Amino acid sequence: MSGRRILFIGEFTGFAGGIERYAWRTARLLRKNDFQVDWCGRTPARDEALFRGGFDRSLAPGELLAGPMDYDLAALHKLPELSFLHALRRRFGERLIFWAHDHDLYCPRRHYYTPFGRVNCHRAYAPLRCALCARITSPRNWKYLRAGHTALLEELRGHHAVVLSHFMRGNLLRNGFSPANIRLIPPVIETAEPGECVSAGPGPLKILFLGQLIRGKGADLLLDALERLGVPWQAQFAGEGGDRALLEARAESSPLLRGRVVFSRWLTDPESALGSCDVVVFPSRWQEPFGLAGAEGSACGRPVVAFDVGGVREWLVDGVTGFAVPEKDTAAMAEKLELLQRDHDLRLKLGGAGRKFVAEHFSQERFLLLWNDLMKQVSP
């Protein structure tokens, strides 16, 4: 199987978030196309057995470095410790490719917004400024700060990198990566069959939030928007996270929210929830590197209302497949949701256009073409 052996390297063995879901789905696609795909992770996470089943084999870091195994490409999906990165570089050389899924590389705080006010940052990494910014947060978060951050960035600048969006390509360029070393490979997003994309008629607007219940994903901002609505609505929050108890308490204590908001579990397969909603809301305050959950809403023929941050415009065409509103503008978000509740035909029009857009831009055929080009470059 020359040229067909792939290793994915990440932090969690299980579904901790979007990175693991992307890796799992991508591995399953590649395996269907005669690739061998193994996983290397160090920390167990949710639905570990299901996650392992998406790969041919699952390894611990010690097994990877000690064993005789060889791969044609090693995809680094999460920023490692510097010593482990050096060991991987010695092992794989140019076959080690960095997948830039998040902001960890150029933001020691990882969030890429300021500690106070959560204002999104658009600057390049600067050692002194970023170190000070990272340390004026709560001391409880200091344990997440990584030693040798500048050295990690300098090392990875010399690697080939893959991004899922033009937004992330721009961030890597801003931080010193060579344009020749960056490849844009959008993810595969499977579209629903047209018959599965029927939205309900008049009645309460069924709103769906898919994602982690943490501050960066903006679930609290969606609650702000829901309190502004003057039309009938119901909302489902599908996900887990550290803010869940706070969000549930707020929904229960607010007369405008009580009885209308349901919190369900995290979904490995979100299609079940997408098929029963009218609109997907993507209220992230964090600059999403891509925003897979929102794009999956479009793939299911649902209009999406999202804050215009990060890579959202990669899959959301404002006024065509949904609405992109200014970041944190919950009044504008509520206005668009009211419009969609009142206009069923508009919901169908936007949802159909979203499904078509996803089918044209995020197909398996396009992904495999770009993937094989990458393989030829690093493992000719």
For residues 229 and 334, the answer to whether their CB atoms sit within 8 Å is yes
pLDDT at 1: 41
pLDDT tens figures, 177-225: 999 999 999 999 999 776 666 666 678 999 999 999 999 999 999 999 9
Architecture of domain 194-361: 3-Layer(aba) Sandwich (3.40)
Which pLDDT belongs to residue 201? 66
Query: Rounded distance, CA 356 to CA 380, Å?
Result: 35
CATH, domain range 5-188+363-378: 3.40.50.2000
Give the global pTM.
Answer: 0.92
Does the pLDDT at position 2 exceed 60?
Answer: no
Side chain identity at 48, as an amino acid letter? E
The fraction of the chain above a pLDDT of 70, given in percent, is: 94
Q: What share of the chain is helix, strand, coil (3-state, %, to 5)?
A: 45, 15, 40
Contacts for 24 with CB less than 8 Å, ≥ 6 apart: 15, 51, 54, 55
CA distances from 29 to 22, 46, 189, 336, 366 (A): 11, 21, 11, 36, 13
Q: What is the pLDDT of residues 127-166, one digit of tens each?
A: 999 988 888 876 766 666 677 889 999 999 988 999 999 9
Residue 272 has pLDDT above 80, yes or no: no
Determine phi and psi for 152, rounding to 5 degrees: -60, -45
pLDDT for residue 258 is more than 90? yes
Q: What is the pLDDT of residue 195?
A: 61
In terms of Cβ atoms closer than 10 Å to its own Cβ (0-12, 13-18, 19+), residue 102 is buried
Domain(s) labelled CATH 3.40.50.2000 in the chain stretch across 5-188+363-378, 194-361
E strands within the chain? 5-9, 12-13, 36-40, 43-44, 57-59, 73-76, 96-99, 160-163, 182-184, 205-210, 233-238, 261-264, 279-282, 304-307, 322-325
Q: What is the DSSP string of 241-302?
A: -TTHHHHHHHHHH-TTTTTTEEEE---SSTHHHHTT-SEEEE---S--SS-HHHHHHHHTT-
Sheet hosting strand 322-325, strand order edge to edge: 261-264, 233-238, 205-210, 279-282, 304-307, 322-325
CA distances from 278 to 298, 308, 344, 345 (A): 11, 20, 9, 12
Which tokens sit at 166?
Answer: 């033009």
CA distance 184 to 75: 14
Instruction: Specify the length of the chain in residues.
Output: 380
- The span from the CA of 324 to the CA of 340, in Å, is 14
HSE, side-chain direction, 13 A CA sphere, residue 338: 13
